[in-house]
Structure formats: C-alpha cells, structure tokens
Structure 1
Amino acid sequence: MAPKVLVVLTSYGYIESAKQPTGWYLPELAHPYDVLTSKGVEVTVASPKGGVAPLDPGSVEPYKEDASASGFYETKKHVWENTTPLSRFLGGAASEFDAVLYPGGVGPMFDLATDAQSQALIAEFVAAGKPVAAVCHGPVALTGVKLKDGTSLVAGKRVTSISNAEDDSLGIRDHLPFMLEDRLRELGAVYEKAPDLWGEKVVVEDGGKLITGQNPASGKGVGEALVKALGL
C-alpha cells in the first residue's frame, strides 16, 4: 500500500496591518510534493477552514524559472483549491497517514500558530511515533504543541525555521505577531540556521521523526528527508 502524507496549509490570506495578501508559499509545497509523489506517496491536503487555501501571490513570479514550482502552479491548482477541513482528520489521522507536513508562507503565523485542532493533530502524530515535518514559517505550528508531560514539543530539540534576519529582509517584522526564531529559542529549542541568508538548511531530529527546513530553498530537502524517514 502506498504511504500517505497529510499536508496542512494555512487558511489565512490577508495581512490587514500591511494591506497585503499572504498565504502559503509556492515552492514550499511544490518541491516536497514533487519529491513525495515521485516515490509513490499519496498526498492529502487540509487547512483549518477547508476549501481554497490561499497561495501567496508573491511566491509565483520569483519561481517562474523553477520547473517544479511553475509546473505545480500550472497543473496542480486542485491540490490547494479543494482542501479538506482540518477538523475531519482529528482523532485518527495518525492511524490513516504515515506523516504530516506543514509548508510555510507568512499565513501560518496568523492561524496555525494558535490553531488548537492543528496542535492536537501534531500531538497525535508525535504520540504515534510518526514523522512531523515543516518548512520556513511552517514550524510555527509546532510552537504550541505540548507533549504528554506538559513540556514543549521543541524543547531541547534541534530545529530550524525562517530566521529573524530573513524575516527582516522581507520587511514584515512589524506585521508579525512574533518572530519565529525567537519563539523557538524561548521554548528551549536548539535553533540552527544556514550561514547565509536564504541558504538551504534542513534539520532532522529524533531519527527522522521531526524534520524542519529553514526557508523556500529547503523545501526539496525536507521532502527528501521525509522520504527517507518513511523508508522509501
């Protein structure tokens, strides 16, 4: 039977204070999706609200020369325009799926950061010993997850995410609820990042059970680490 991976996208599409659209970031879904499906993995996509998960329009043009991202944008719109409400997967997703993946984009900072259903979902996968992966701003979904003993999921774990410097280079610090690198450090995570701004960085912890990628350049690597964790 083909392995199954649940992908969770943001439902948040507009930053009021910045007066600009946001959402999930194209290569952070396209690259791991291509890696996973090339290995025969079945991918199911959910979001807090279901229906159309907003794609950050600013992530399309910069990747028009990227075959994976542009191809995904042109041919896979059904993947993000017909997502299943997250609520449908609670209390059983970890038995139905082999792993869960959270792509980034700025949107997750506003909904998945505090979404109780998402936190319960991740806790299910952790309790079942199944891989949890996230890219760029996606690791914000990990920050509210507690283990059974009440400690933070990321405490004492090596993780990465978009860095403060990268968020600052986007000019969005004043519009974010908090800085993700700072939050991970506050929770006791051992935060790691690439030496260069926007450089690829993938951190694999817990023998493949916790996989994080720093930025858009890390999406493919996260997909590859997930494939390895699934034993494919």
Structure 2
Amino acid sequence: MTKKILMVVTNADQLDKEHQTGLWLSEFVEPATELKEAGFEVVAASMEGGKIPIDPNSYSNELPRVWDGVMEPIHDTEKLSDLNPSDFVGIFFCGGHGSMVDFPNNETIQQILRHFISERKIIASVCHGPAAFVGVTDHNEKAFVKGRTMTGFTNEEEKQTGLEPLMPFLLEDQLKEEGADFIVHDAFTDHVEVDENLVTGQNHHSSLRTAQAMIKQLKDH
C-alpha cells in the first residue's frame, strides 16, 4: 500500500485590501513532485477545503509543464478536520504569507500535530509554514518547538518583502519566544535544518531540499 503524506496549505487570500496572498506555489509543487517521485501519495488539505489561492508573486505565465499534474490536489483540497492523521506517515506545512493568517494557534492543526508528535512521525515545513507550530503543545503541555533546532522565514527576509507591517508577528521572533533554537542563514539562501523527526526550510528556495531531507528521514525512520 502506498504511504501517504499530508500537505497542508493556506486558504487565506488577502493580507489587507491592497495585498493579495495565498500559497507560495513552489512550496507545494516542488515538495509534492519529490514526494511522488519517491513513491509517496500526496494528499493536500486546508482549514476550509476547496480551491487554494495562489500568491500572485509566486508564479508567472510560464509555469513548467511538469507542474500541471502536480498542482491538481490544490484545485480541490480536503478539509483538514475531516482527515484521520493515522492514515499518514508524515506531514508537510507549505508556506506563503497566507500561512501567517490561518496556521497559528489553530485548534485543528494542534489536534492533528499532537498525533504526529506523540507517534514521532516526520513533520516538515518550509518558509512561513512553521507558523503552524505557533501555540502547539505536546501531551505534557510543553511547547512543541521548545529546544528544537529549526528554521523558517527570518526577520530579515520579512523586512525585505516589505510586508512586515501586515504580519501578526515575526515568525522568527515568535518561534524563539516559544523556545526554538532558530537558525538563521543569509536572506533567501537555501537552508534546511533537521532535528530528529522535524525538518524545516528557511524560505521558498529551500523547498526542494526540505522535501529531500524529509524523504531521507521517512526512509530512515
């Protein structure tokens, strides 16, 4: 039976009236491609289900042809609360600024993640995706990220986007506040951290290597 990976994406399509947002497309497509090629089945889910908004800055009119089939799951995602986490061997949280809107302190995400934490399954995330970890605690009420070596979208990267004033918080600051050992490399460089069953990538340039590191962890697990 093919092992399944749950890929979680945002439904949020606006930061304010002037700023559209959504999923950063390559942060789904590149990992999904790698996972499928490695023999895993990818299931895409979101808080509300349905078609996913794509950040307009994350794609051009010249999308690679190979992306067509891989994008299919985000045209009609499953509703996260309808899924049984026991059906999946790993979970991957994709980024895009929309993730900062509907991932943090989300009860559905917290419930799903508790399963992956307690079963020590592989948990991966890239860019703004680690916003999903904000407010998540284990069964002992300890912050999930406390003492974990990880990365994600940095303060410097957020400043360079010009969208910092629209964010509910800075991801780097918030994860550090919850106890993460948050590792920062130069802005917009490919950077991945692996801490046991937790795999994180700093920004969209890290999407491919985050997926590759996740696959290695899945095979070694």
TM-score (norm 2): 0.95
2:192·2:206 contact (CA, 8 Å) conserved in 1?
yes
1:2·1:40 contact (CA, 8 Å) conserved in 2?
yes
Tell me the residue number matched to 1:222. 210
Identity of aligned residues (%): 32
The one-letter amino acid of 1:187's match is E
Which one of 79, 85, 88 corresponds to residue 73 of structure 2? 79
Is 1:205 aligned to residue 199 of structure 2? no
Runs of at least 4 residues of structure 1 off by over 6 A? none
Tell me the residue number matched to 1:98. 89
Tell me the residue number matched to 1:146. 137
Tell me the residue number matched to 1:124. 115
> How far apart are residue 190 of structure 1 and its match?
0.4
Tell me the residue number matched to 1:166. 157
Tell me the residue number matched to 2:36. 37
> Residue deviations 1:51-85, cap 9 Å, x none?
01111111002x94xxxx63355444421111011
Aligned equivalents of 1:218, 1:229: Cα separation in 2: 16
SS at match of 1:227: helix
> How far apart are residue 12 of structure 1 and its match?
0.5
2:122·2:217 contact (CA, 8 Å) conserved in 1?
yes
2:32·2:70 contact (CA, 8 Å) conserved in 1?
no
The one-letter amino acid of 1:112's match is F
> Residue deviations 1:83-109, cap 9 Å, x none?
0111101xx31x210000001000010
Aligned equivalents of 1:126, 1:84: Cα separation in 2: 22
Unmatched runs of 5 consecutive residues or more in structure 1: none
Tell me the residue number matched to 1:70. 64
> How far apart are residue 149 of structure 1 and its match?
1.2
SS at match of 1:100: strand
Unmatched runs of 5 consecutive residues or more in structure 2: none
The one-letter amino acid of 1:148's match is H
> How far apart are residue 184 of structure 1 and its match?
0.8
The one-letter amino acid of 2:35's match is L
Aligned equivalents of 1:189, 1:103: Cα separation in 2: 19
TM-score (norm 1): 0.91
> Residue deviations 1:114-167, cap 9 Å, x none?
211011111111111101101000001011110111110000110100000001
1:158·1:191 contact (CA, 8 Å) conserved in 2?
yes
The one-letter amino acid of 2:51's match is V
RMSD (Å) for aligned C-alpha atoms: 1.5
Distance 1:103 1:157, change over 3 A: same
SS at match of 2:36: helix
Aligned equivalents of 2:59, 2:68: Cα separation in 1: 10
Aligned equivalents of 2:75, 2:214: Cα separation in 1: 24
1:30·1:72 contact (CA, 8 Å) conserved in 2?
no
Q: How many residues align?
A: 220
> Residue deviations 1:172-224, cap 9 Å, x none?
11000000000011111101022x21001111002xx1111000111011110
Aligned equivalents of 1:9, 1:193: Cα separation in 2: 24
The one-letter amino acid of 1:51's match is G
Which one of 182, 185, 208 corresponds to residue 191 of structure 1? 182
Tell me the residue number matched to 1:4. 4
